[in-house]
C-alpha cells in the first residue's frame, strides 16, 4: 500500500543525511543539559525545511502531511527533541491557515514558513488537559483589542518561540463553545514565560508555562470567529496526531537499530546473543509492530492529504498504536542491552525516556481510544 514515490524517497534520504550530519551530533548534549539545540534548528532552517509543510502561497514548499511525517520520523530517529521544531510550528499555525484572516496569514504564517520565527500551541492548563472546556484563561474585548488573563501549561518550546497560538474563553458560561483563538507575540504587554518543567524526556525542547497578565492583544489577532476556538483546536490536532505517531516511529526505529546491532556483536555462553531464538522472536515481534505502526501513520497522512472525510479516528489510531509501539520497542531495547542499556553510555535510555511522552501529549492515549470508540459506536454509544 505504501510503496513511496521516488520523490518521497528522495526527501527521506535528504532529511536523513541532514539529520545524521547536522542534528545527531547535538542530541546527547541537548538532553544532558536540558538546552534547546539551536544549532540543530539552524541546520533545519538553513536547509529550507522550516516551510516544508506550509502552502506555497504563504512561503512554504507545499508538501503534504505524508511528506511531513517522513521528515519528522527521520529527525526523531536521531533526536526526538529536535523533531518537535519540525512539526509544532505547523500545529500552531494550522488554525491561522484554516480560519485566520489574510492579514494574519501574511503577517505570521510567512515568517514561520520562512524559518524567521518559531511558533507554539497553547491549549492546556493546570486543570484543563484532556478536559479542554474547563480552561480558565479569559479574553475580554476592550475596544480594538482583547485583554487575556490566565496561564497556559505544557507549552512546547516555551520561551524559544516568538509566536503563540493561545486559546482562551471569550464566553466563560458557554463551555467549549465559548473558546476563541488568538495569535500572541512574545513582546505583547502582559506576556511572560513562567516555570520551565524539568522533564523525564524530550529534555532538549523546553516545556513551560505561558503567563498572560492582562496581555493586550489586537482584535485583528483573533483567529476566525469568537466561540469557534475549540473546533479550530481539535481540527489542528487531528492533523498533527499522525506527526506524533511519526515522531514515535523515529524513536522506535532508532531503538530497534541499536538493539539489533548490539545483539549481533554481543556474545554470551560462547554464542552471539542474536543466535538465541528467544531474542530472534523478540526482535521479530518488535519489527512487525513497528511496520504496522508505520502503515497506520502513513495511512492516516494519506487520507488527510486526499481530503477524505472522517479522518479523526485514523489519526487517533496512528498516534495510539505508534506511541505504544515506541514505548514497547524502547523498553525492550534497554532490556536487550542489559546493564549497558541502563547507563548513559548508549542512547537506549534516552530513547525510552523520550518515547513515554508520545503516549501523553496531543491527547493521551486514553483520549485516542475515546475518539476511536466514538467513531465505531457513534456519539450516543460511546
pTM of the model: 0.96
Residues 367 and 254 occupy one common structural domain: yes
Q: Which domain holds residue 174?
A: 119-226
pLDDT of residue 130: 87
Mean pLDDT for all residues in the chain: 96
Residues 13 and 43 occupy one common structural domain: yes
Residues 165 and 297 occupy one common structural domain: no
Residues 51 and 173 occupy one common structural domain: no
pLDDT of residue 380: 63
Residues 101 and 222 occupy one common structural domain: no
Total number of domains constituting the chain: 3
Does residue 193 lie within any of the structural domains? Answer: yes
Cell of 25: 551530533
Q: What digits encode the pLDDT tens for the residues 82-129?
A: 999 999 999 999 999 999 999 999 999 999 999 999 999 999 999 988
Does residue 14 lie within any of the structural domains? Answer: yes
Q: Are 208 and 160 in contact (CB under 8 A)?
A: no
Domain boundary among 226, 249, 271: 226
Residues 133 and 222 occupy one common structural domain: yes
Indicate the pLDDT class of residue 262, thresholds 50, 70 and 90.
very high
Q: Are 27 and 85 in contact (CB under 8 A)?
A: no
Residues 132 and 211 occupy one common structural domain: yes
Residues 209 and 149 occupy one common structural domain: yes
* Residue 271, beta-bridge partner list: 268
Residues 98 and 187 occupy one common structural domain: no
Whole-angstrom distance, CA of residue 144 vs CA of residue 125:
27
Indicate the pLDDT class of residue 382, thresholds 50, 70 and 90.
low
Does residue 382 lie within any of the structural domains? Answer: no
Q: Are 155 and 164 in contact (CB under 8 A)?
A: yes
Residues 372 and 257 occupy one common structural domain: yes
Residue 214, domain CATH: 2.40.110.10
Residue 329, domain CATH: 1.20.140.10
Cell of 377: 459506536
Residues 266 and 358 occupy one common structural domain: yes
Find the catalytic residue in 73, 125, 209, 362: 362
362 is catalytic: yes
7-35 as b/e: b if 16+ CB within 10 A: ebeebbeebbebbeebbbebbeebbeebe
Q: What is the DSSP letter of 23?
A: I
Residue 17, domain CATH: 1.10.540.10
Cell of 112: 514561520
**What are the CA-CA distances from residue 200 to residues 23, 34, 306, 350, 357 (Å)?**
21, 10, 37, 9, 9
Indicate the pLDDT class of residue 310, thresholds 50, 70 and 90.
confident
Does residue 1 lie within any of the structural domains? Answer: no
Domain boundary among 91, 113, 135: 113
Q: Are 156 and 121 in contact (CB under 8 A)?
A: yes
Residues 243 and 283 occupy one common structural domain: yes
Amino acid at each position: 500500500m505504501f510503496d513511496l514515490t521516488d520523490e518521497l524517497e528522495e526527501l527521506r534520504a535528504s532529511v536523513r543525511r541532514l539529520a545524521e550530519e547536522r542534528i545527531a551530533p547535538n542530541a546527547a548534549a541537548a538532553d544532558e543539559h536540558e538546552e534547546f539545540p539551536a544549532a540543530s534548528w539552524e541546520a533545519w532552517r538553513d536547509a529550507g525545511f522550516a516551510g516544508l509543510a506550509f502552502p506555497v502561497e504563504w512561503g512554504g514548499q507545499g508538501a503534504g502531511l505524508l511528506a511531513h511525517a517522513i521528515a519528522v520520523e527521520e529527525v526523531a530517529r536521531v533526536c526526538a527533541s529536535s523533531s518537535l521544531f519540525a512539526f509544532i510550528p505547523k500545529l500552531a499555525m494550522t488554525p491561522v491557515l484554516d480560519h485566520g484572516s489574510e492579514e494574519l496569514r501574511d503577517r505570521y504564517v510567512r515568517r514561520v514558513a520562512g524559518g524567521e520565527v518559531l511558533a507554539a500551541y497553547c491549549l492546556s492548563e493546570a486543570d484543563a488537559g484532556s478536559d479542554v472546556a474547563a480552561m480558565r484563561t479569559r479574553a475580554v474585548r476592550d475596544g480594538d483589542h482583547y485583554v487575556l488573563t490566565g496561564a497556559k501549561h505544557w507549552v512546547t518550546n516555551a520561551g524559544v518561540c516568538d509566536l503563540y497560538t493561545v486559546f482562551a474563553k471569550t464566553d466563560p458560561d458557554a463551555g467549549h463553545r465559548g473558546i476563541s483563538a488568538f495569535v500572541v507575540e512574545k513582546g505583547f504587554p502582559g506576556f511572560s514565560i513562567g516555570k520551565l518543567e524539568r522533564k523525564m524526556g524530550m529534555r532538549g525542547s523546553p516545556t513551560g508555562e505561558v503567563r498572560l497578565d492582562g496581555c493586550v492583544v489586537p482584535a485583528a489577532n483573533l483567529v476566525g470567529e469568537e466561540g469557534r476556538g475549540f473546533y479550530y483546536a481539535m481540527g489542528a490536532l487531528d492533523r498533527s496526531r499522525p506527526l506524533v505517531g511519526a515522531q514515535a516511529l523515529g524513536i522506535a526505529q532508532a531503538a530497534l537499530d541499536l538493539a539489533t546491532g548490539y545483539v549481533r556483536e554481543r556474545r554470551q555462553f560462547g554464542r552471539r546473543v542474536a543466535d538465541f531464538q528467544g531474542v530472534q522472536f523478540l526482535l521479530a515481534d518488535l519489527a512487525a509492530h513497528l511496520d504496522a505502526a508505520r502503515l497506520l501513520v502513513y495511512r492516516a497522512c494519506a487520507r488527510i492529504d486526499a481530503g477524505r472525510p472522517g479522518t479523526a479516528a485514523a489519526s487517533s489510531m496512528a498516534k495510539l498504536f505508534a506511541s505504544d509501539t515506541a514505548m514497547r520497542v524502547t523498553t525492550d531495547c534497554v532490556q536487550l542491552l542489559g546493564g549497558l542499556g541502563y547507563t548513559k553510555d548508549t542512547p537506549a535510555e534516552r530513547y525510552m525516556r523520550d518515547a513515554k511522552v508520545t503516549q501523553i501529549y496531543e491527547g493521551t492515549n486514553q483520549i485516542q481510544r475515546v475518539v476511536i470508540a466514538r467513531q465505531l459506536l457513534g456519539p450516543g454509544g460511546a
